[in-house]
């Protein structure tokens, strides 16, 4: 009794357990089901033909029916094989395309990571150079302070003028003794040559440098011209007032 009950339990457990089939086994089962369906359809069709034709229809021989059945089975098998091949080729092409897309994505990710790494390396190198420059500057300042503390700062020696040179008349003078710039406004505002109304160039100077200075000179000229124009307008407005004040002064009787 125990053995029989154990067999029953094993059968129930085996029926409950799922059975995993491979792809080839699933294809075989599908092909068998398809063949059975086709055979059943053919049998129904033959039965319908026999029923319709009745006794007038000529019965086919069993050999001919078998040949037709085999021919139909071969045709269905070929059709199923072609369908499976097409599905397999389609799946293979899809897998290849997915693999190519993944490869391209990996290449793009690697290029992006390389660019980010290069930028980070450049930024790190710039930061390192900046820190080194600041450290070098601080080191120089510190060394200068140490030298000044222990060695003392070098002060320019004061020139000692001899009595003979102090009272001797000298025809030479230094640039600091020149007072012509303070007395004459021409030295303070030197006139610049206007070559071709600001479009020419001076000989002996770099043309590129002159081109760079040309817009600045034009701006100065325009500002100076505008200033002079505004000054003229102001003087014209003030002239009638001055004349009127002079007339009033002349009309006041002298006390």
Distance CA 145, CA 153 (A): 10
pLDDT reported for residue 87: 82
Find the range with the poorest average confidence among 30-34, 139-143, 150-154. Answer: 150-154
pLDDT reported for residue 19: 64
Distances 82 to 15, 67, 79, 96 between C-alpha atoms, Å: 35, 22, 5, 21
- Is the Cβ–Cβ distance between 217 and 198 less than 8 Å? yes
Distance CA 129, CA 251 (A): 82
Mean pLDDT for the stretch of residues 169-194: 68
Mean pLDDT for the stretch of residues 57-78: 71
- Domain range for residue 238? 211-255
Mean pLDDT for the stretch of residues 188-203: 66
Whether 224 maps to a domain, the answer reads yes
pLDDT reported for residue 36: 87
Q: How many domains does the chain have?
A: 1
pLDDT reported for residue 59: 46
Whether 241 maps to a domain, the answer reads yes
Q: Is the pLDDT of residue 6 over 60?
A: no
Whether 232 maps to a domain, the answer reads yes
Mean pLDDT for the stretch of residues 4-13: 52
Q: Is the pLDDT of residue 4 over 70?
A: no
Whether 96 maps to a domain, the answer reads no
- Is the Cβ–Cβ distance between 187 and 181 less than 8 Å? yes
Whether 231 maps to a domain, the answer reads yes
Whether 240 maps to a domain, the answer reads yes
CB atoms within 10 A of CB 68: 13
Look over the chain and give the mean of its residue pLDDT values, rounded to a whole number.
75
Whether 247 maps to a domain, the answer reads yes
């Amino acid at each position: 009794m125990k053995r029989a009950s154990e067999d029953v339990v094993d059968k129930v457990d085996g029926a409950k357990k799922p059975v995993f089939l491979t792809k080839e086994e699933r294809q075989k089962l599908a092909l068998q089901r398809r063949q059975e369906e086709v055979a059943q359809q053919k049998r129904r069709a033959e039965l319908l033909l026999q029923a319709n034709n009745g006794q007038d229809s000529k019965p086919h021989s069993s050999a001919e029916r078998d040949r037709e059945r085999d021919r139909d089975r071969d045709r269905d098998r070929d059709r199923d094989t072609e369908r499976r091949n097409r599905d397999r080729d389609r799946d293979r092409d899809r897998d290849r395309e997915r693999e190519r897309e993944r490869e391209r994505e990996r290449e793009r990710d690697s290029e992006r990571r390389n660019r980010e790494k290069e930028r980070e390396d450049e930024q790190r190198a710039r930061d390192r150079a900046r820190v080194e420059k600041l450290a070098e500057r601080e080191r120089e300042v510190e060394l200068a302070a140490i030298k000044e503390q222990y060695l003392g700062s070098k002060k320019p020696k004061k020139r000692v003028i001899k009595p003979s040179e102090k009272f001797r008349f000298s025809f030479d003078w230094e640039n600091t003794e020149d007072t012509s710039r303070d007395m004459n406004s021409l030295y303070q505002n030197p006139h610049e040559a206007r070559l071709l109304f600001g479009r020419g160039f001076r000989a002996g100077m770099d043309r590129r440098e002159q081109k760079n200075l040309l817009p600045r000179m034009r701006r100065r000229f325009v500002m100076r011209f505008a200033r002079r124009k505004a000054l003229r307008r102001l003087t014209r407005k003030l002239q009638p007032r001055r004349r009127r004040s002079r007339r009033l002064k002349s009309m006041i009787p002298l006390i």
